């Protein structure tokens, strides 16, 4: 693992909206902090670094991993997490984001939000006096990408120069993988059918960030060629939250991008398979791959806990 030298106090009070807002050294620092916290938890010597602190968690969409890992993470650090659904919050009845941000800031030490619109998260961050953490929007999923980096680092020893290929539509997870790869010097390819490519403006931002690390970012519409020599094969559901009504047309367009035994035979012999989960076996990935020996999806899910604890300690720890 790389030696990182940043002053950790530079992370205090910051928002965590996308990894674009963090330097390569800061990303490496968060990863090294996650490694430290994971080891401490496994040895039973974790410290209550967030004793007395509270995290408000606004979920406008379903979640298994994000909700449980943030809530358990706060508990393990000696703090407390509140699950806030729009069904219960006044925001669900039209209270402005501005008022919600201001009021919650008087009670909690950080706000985590999962919502469709990235603009809502930006607005919340603009008005909140406490750090806001993006727990998935239609554009980004930075907590996931940080957990993905940790998982790749654990399995491959390092990130620099490793080849990751993502198969699927250019969604939130694809965007955050491009940015994460850019920040860590990886070689990231997103293979998507025509009409389902990544957002060009986000791709351009990632390409700009890649200049700092020597990362290479590529878009492809040839899944077999893209898979050649991959160290990491990654996929995600064909219809993300909010796009369920497009399921049928997406199945047709994305079927050639299914991660199956034939596709992974193109990858490096020691490739690893990752998926942010939830997965649909028989759609974006076959059971033979996701349940096979090269799959590390449960380690990846576990790592959400460790990286988010690193983010929380870095943003709101004393």
List, in sequence order, every residue forming a beta bridge with 126; answer none if it has no partner.
Answer: none
> How far apart are alpha carbons 245 and 182 in whole angstroms?
32
> How far apart are alpha carbons 188 and 206 in whole angstroms?
11
Binding residue for ligand NVA, selected from 226, 276, 297, 316, defined by CB under 6 A = 276
Q: Which entry of ligand NVA, ligand CP, none binds 236, CB below 5 to 8 A by partner kind?
A: ligand NVA
Question: Is 90 tagged catalytic?
Answer: no
Q: Which entry of ligand NVA, ligand CP, none binds 64, CB below 5 to 8 A by partner kind?
A: ligand CP
> How far apart are alpha carbons 306 and 102 in whole angstroms?
29
CA 94 to chain centre: 29
Binding residue for ligand NVA, selected from 28, 172, 184, 192, defined by CB under 6 A = 172
Query: Does residue 173 bind ligand NVA (CB under 6 A)?
Result: yes
> In the range 110-149, which residues lie near ligand NVA by CB under 6 A?
136
Give residue for tokens 């469709």. 116
Q: Candidates 70-78, 148-156, 169-177, 255-263: pick the segment binding ligand NVA (CB under 6 A).
A: 169-177
Question: Is 109 tagged catalytic?
Answer: no
Give whichever of 136 and 145 is closer to ligand NVA, judged by the CB atom: 136
Question: Is 106 tagged catalytic?
Answer: no
Query: Does residue 85 bind ligand CP (CB under 6 A)?
Result: no
Helix (H, G, I), strand (E, B) or coil at 85: coil
Give the nearest distance from C-beta 236 to ligand CP in angstroms: 9
Give residue for tokens 């999806």. 297
Give whichever of 34 and 276 is closer to ligand CP, judged by the CB atom: 276
Following DSSP, what letter does each residue of 111-150 receive, concatenated? EEEE-S-HHHHHHHHHH-SS-EEE---SS--HHHHHHHHH
> In the range 110-149, which residues lie near ligand CP by CB under 6 A?
136, 144
> How far apart are alpha carbons 121 and 109 in whole angstroms?
16
Give whichever of 101 and 259 is closer to ligand NVA, judged by the CB atom: 259
Q: Which two tokens stand for residue 144?
A: 């996931």
Give whichever of 275 and 317 is closer to ligand CP, judged by the CB atom: 275
> How far apart are alpha carbons 311 and 8 in whole angstroms?
11
Give the DSSP H/E element, type plus range, for residue 252.
Answer: helix 247-254
Q: Candidates 16-24, 45-53, 189-197, 232-240: pick the segment binding ligand NVA (CB under 6 A).
A: 232-240
> How far apart are alpha carbons 240 and 17 in whole angstroms?
19
Which residues of this protein are in contact with ligand NVA, per CB under 6 A? Answer: 136, 171-173, 236-237, 240-241, 276
The residues annotated with a catalytic role in the active site are: 114, 141, 144, 236, 276, 304
Q: Where along the sequence are the contacts to ligand CP (CB under 6 A)? A: 63-66, 136, 144, 276-277
């Amino acid at each position: 693992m790389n030696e990182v030298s940043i002053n950790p106090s530079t992370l205090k009070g910051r928002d965590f909206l996308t990894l674009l807002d963090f330097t390569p050294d800061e990303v490496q620092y968060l990863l090294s902090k996650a490694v430290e916290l994971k080891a401490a938890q496994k040895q039973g010597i974790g410290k209550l670094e967030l004793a007395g602190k509270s995290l408000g968690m606004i979920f406008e969409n379903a979640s298994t991993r994000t909700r449980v890992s943030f809530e358990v993470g706060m508990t393990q650090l000696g703090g407390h997490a509140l699950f806030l659904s729009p069904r219960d919050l006044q925001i669900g009845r039209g209270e402005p984001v501005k008022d919600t941000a201001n009021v919650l800031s008087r009670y909690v030490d950080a706000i985590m939000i999962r919502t469709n619109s990235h603009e809502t998260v930006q607005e919340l961050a603009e008005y909140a006096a406490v750090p806001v953490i993006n727990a998935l929007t239609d554009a980004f999923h930075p907590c996931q990408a940080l957990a993905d980096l940790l998982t790749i680092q654990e399995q491959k020893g390092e990130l620099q120069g490793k080849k990751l290929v993502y198969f699927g539509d250019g969604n939130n997870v694809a965007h955050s993988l491009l940015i994460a790869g850019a920040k860590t010097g990886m070689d990231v390819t997103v293979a998507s059918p025509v009409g389902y490519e990544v957002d060009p403006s986000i791709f351009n931002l990632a390409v700009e960030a890649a200049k700092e690390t020597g990362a290479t970012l590529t878009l492809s519409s040839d899944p077999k060629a893209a898979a050649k020599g991959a160290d990491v094969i990654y996929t995600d559901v064909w219809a993300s939250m909010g796009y369920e009504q497009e399921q049928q047309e997406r199945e047709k367009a994305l079927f050639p991008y299914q991660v199956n035994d034939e596709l992974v035979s193109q990858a490096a012999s020691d490739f690893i398979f990752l998926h942010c989960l939830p997965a649909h076996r028989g759609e974006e990935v076959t059971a033979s791959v996701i349940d096979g020996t090269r799959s590390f999806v449960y380690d990846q899910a576990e790592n959400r806990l460790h990286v988010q604890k690193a983010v929380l300690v870095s943003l709101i720890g004393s």
